[in-house]
Amino acid sequence: MSSDSHTRPIYRSLVDRFGFPHLLTTTLVLVAATILLGVAAKATGSGLACEANWPQCDAGPFNLFPANLPSFYEWIHRFVAMFAGFAIVGSALAAWRLEDVDDRVASLVILGMILTPIQVYLGGQTVLQYQMEILSLHFWTAILIFAMFVIATVLVWRGSFSVRTITGAFVVGLLTLPAHVALSPTEFGVVTDYSPTVQLLQYGVTLTLIGAVIVATMVTRWHAGSRLLSGLTYGTTGLALAVAYFGRQVVMNFSMTIDRLYLVLTGVLALAFVVAIAVSRRQSGGR
């Protein structure tokens, strides 16, 4: 997007040094890390360790000397979230000021910046109130921000993708499903103790699944001419979001109906991935 002559050199020098695509990729990594650390903090009850103190915890300014291990986890989460916030703001300002940044990228990143203070507020409320509704809203807002930055990052790296990327993304998505089921607290789950480590791994798999279907969908629009493949990408995206949603519901609710619905959706998604892999390989000539 356009910029004035006074601010352009500042942003241009930063982007020339680090590269806007790399800045955006780093921001995406920080957003993902913030989400996973937030999951770890919730799983360990670290927010409660701060005794409803926010943004500080239990050790003065910046919580430089946490009183115990749980408060340390919460501090790490807030610390990384702070850097993620700075990166989001920096990416948004750069996207707004630099004239060679795609308007779609700028819009996504700026919207992510607008959502960030809302997410920060919700994060504070999870400590001050710790209600399930607030926790869920906090989580899904984070997923929305993550998805927007995945889309923006794929857009800026568009020239690096090919038809084979579609197959690779579908393969990654397919590989996440057994892990997602195994790490879920269902009757078919491998784990018997839904520990903080298991939760962290499961949500890491969830982010990977969401990222994979976004990449597959976007690259298919650019490089695939098959209506069947396009339909499969949209279908897998919808199913992946449903699996992510019901996978979380499995954790939040002890319901056999939800467990079975989650497993059925996962099975359908796995089948869709297999078909999509075959179709995309055929389109790319089996390479």
- The structure tokens 């690259």 sit at 219
Q: Of 207, 204, 223, 212, which is closest to residue 174 (Cα–Cα)?
A: 212
3 state DSSP class of 116:
helix
What is the pLDDT, as a whole number, of residue 7? 46
| Per-residue model confidence (pLDDT) at position 208 | 97
Name which of 141, 125, 135, 146 is nearest 32 in CA terms: 146
pLDDT at 54: 58
Q: Phi-psi bin for 62: left (phi > 0), alpha (psi -120 to 50), beta? A: left
Could you give the CA distance from residue 79 to residue 242 in angstroms, rounded to a whole number? 31
**pTM across the whole model:** 0.84
Count the neighbouring beta carbons within 10 Å of the beta carbon of residue 275: 16
Residue 13: how many other CB atoms lie within 10 Å? 10
Nearest of 23, 144, 27, 24 to residue 81 by alpha carbon: 27
**Tally of CB atoms within 10 A around 261:** 15
The reported pLDDT for the residue numbered 122 is: 85
Residue 230: other Cβ atoms inside 10 A: 14
pLDDT tens track, the chain, 287 positions: 544 444 455 445 555 556 889 999 999 999 999 999 888 777 776 666 565 555 566 555 555 555 566 667 777 777 888 889 899 998 998 888 888 889 999 999 999 999 999 988 887 777 667 677 888 888 899 999 999 999 999 999 998 998 889 999 999 999 999 999 988 887 766 777 777 788 889 999 999 999 999 999 999 988 876 788 899 999 999 999 999 999 888 887 778 888 899 999 999 999 999 999 999 988 776 44
Could you give the CA distance from residue 122 to residue 67 in angstroms, rounded to a whole number? 24
Structure tokens at 239: 């199913």
Delimit the domains of the chain by residue range.
Answer: 1-159, 161-287
